[in-house]
Structure 1
């Protein structure tokens, strides 16, 4: 197999069922890390994308991943059929991200804004996404799940962050507040520009603890909703001492900070 360079210069592609393909393509039910290269074929959609859109040639190195494993592969194109050779030595499990980060956010007005949130969640390794229909939420949730899956997949391929967030169905604020479970070890941050807010830099982040980040919709939560949020164990957290941020900006800043702290 060709020598693999630093994978930050290699295109990554999601290939559903990759692990089973690797097992079925190997000589045994257990992949031997010291064995020969495994050759598998890719599905028509990915093949068309690699050959027709990206115009990749035989010998190009790519990275493939699914929900369980990732690996590097060398392309071999024969009569418009695309195969890849994978060395068992490059196969790696995709481990859970720690700490576990969950985003709870008031549904935004436009599809583009909500998709921007999903993209940010993927880039920064959010585990669960909980959209909330608050009193001031005026947006509509796209019921076409394929569209959102495409957004998540594109973000994963671009960022090489291979854990896909779980997107939960939107709940009304009352239903969400009843279902939210506060634990003694979780860190619950309510991003709110308020004089009583604690700067995010002072929030203790423990790698083994669950982190819940809550961001309001355009127009913010109502006073009634804020009172309920605080009663659930959320602490007001300030992201900027000089600016009131838009929801999409607040989400990016909060997630970026959390993932920078080890």
Structure 2
């Protein structure tokens, strides 16, 4: 099954944007062929191609359905990276893993500001359809590390921490059926003061194993662990 994206699904005639139209042409679809559309907000619709030309592709939408989101939610607070390609990879793979919200957090050791958020939105959109999901994650605006604790709360609150401390493994700290917020630090990890601020706000320290992981690897590992535990 191939999924295509359209931002507002309503019964009637709609025109695909150039990104989705290009995909249809690559697949050599024809007038009369059926497609499946999603809006990234839980809606899905059957769609028939009624016009296909170099100028436009028109679809007839029918039978728009709504699917409830799973009850468990994962908010991932993660520092932007100096290398934007690596952060794009993080966003893509966390989207495929089913994360609900990605919050870029500016930490003391964050080395670069988040740029090209429109490109990140396109990456998330593509990853959502590729992984056959009906919901696209929210990419929140960048906020300060301290602001994260004011805006986001969860039943299970965890911070990945590389230095010595009493820590649980990620897998043992994530019970099934609970909403979670997980903090992943920048290259060089959180500072001691940042770690203590998280603990004072009810976060628990976790380890992701004996190997030290890059920020983007740790984020994807956390998202996949949450997804598997809640299947």
Q: Decide: shared fold, TM above 0.5.
A: yes
Note if contact 1:102-1:127 (Cα within 8 Å) is conserved in structure 2. Answer: yes
Matching residue of 2:90 = 117
Equivalent runs, 1:45-194 vs 2, <5 Å: 45=18, 48-66=21-39, 67-77=41-51, 82-86=57-61, 88=63, 91-142=64-115, 144-177=116-149, 179-182=150-153, 186-193=155-162, 194=164
Runs of 4+ in structure 1 off by over 6 angstroms are none
Aligned counterpart, 1:225: 194
Contact preservation (8 Å) 2:187, 2:215: yes
With 246-255 and 164-173 compared, the bigger mean Cα shift is at: 164-173
Whether 1:200 aligns to 2:170 is: yes
Match of 1:258 among 211, 226, 230: 226
Unaligned runs of 5+ in 1: 1-9, 26-39
Name whichever of 75-84 and 97-106 sits farther off. Answer: 75-84
- Whole-Å Cα distance in 2 between the matches of residues 59 and 11 of structure 1? 16
Q: Residues of 1 paired with 2:193 and 2:59: CA distance?
A: 57
SS of match in other structure, 1:161: coil
1:83: Cα distance to partner?
Answer: 3.8
Checking the alignment, whether the CA contact within 8 Å between 1:182 and 1:233 is kept in structure 2 is no
TM-score, with length taken from structure 2:
0.86
Counterpart check, 1:237 vs 2:210: no
Number of residue pairs matched by the alignment: 227
Higher relative contact order (CA 8 A, sep 6+): 2
Q: 1: distance between equivalents of 2:52 and 2:83?
A: 45
Alpha-carbon separation, structure 2, partners of 1:51 and 1:210: 37
RMSD: 2.4
Look at both structures and tell me which one has the larger radius of gyration over its CA atoms. Answer: 1
Q: What is residue 182 of structure 2 aligned with on the other side?
A: 213
- More displaced stretch, 94-103 vs 217-226: 94-103
SS of the residue 1:17 aligns to: coil
| SS state at 1:18 partner | coil
Q: Deviations over 1:196-231 (max 9, x none)?
A: 210122124242x32101111111011111111111
The structure-2 alpha-carbon separation of the partners of 1:79 and 1:120, relative to structure 1 and needing over 3 Å to count, comes to closer
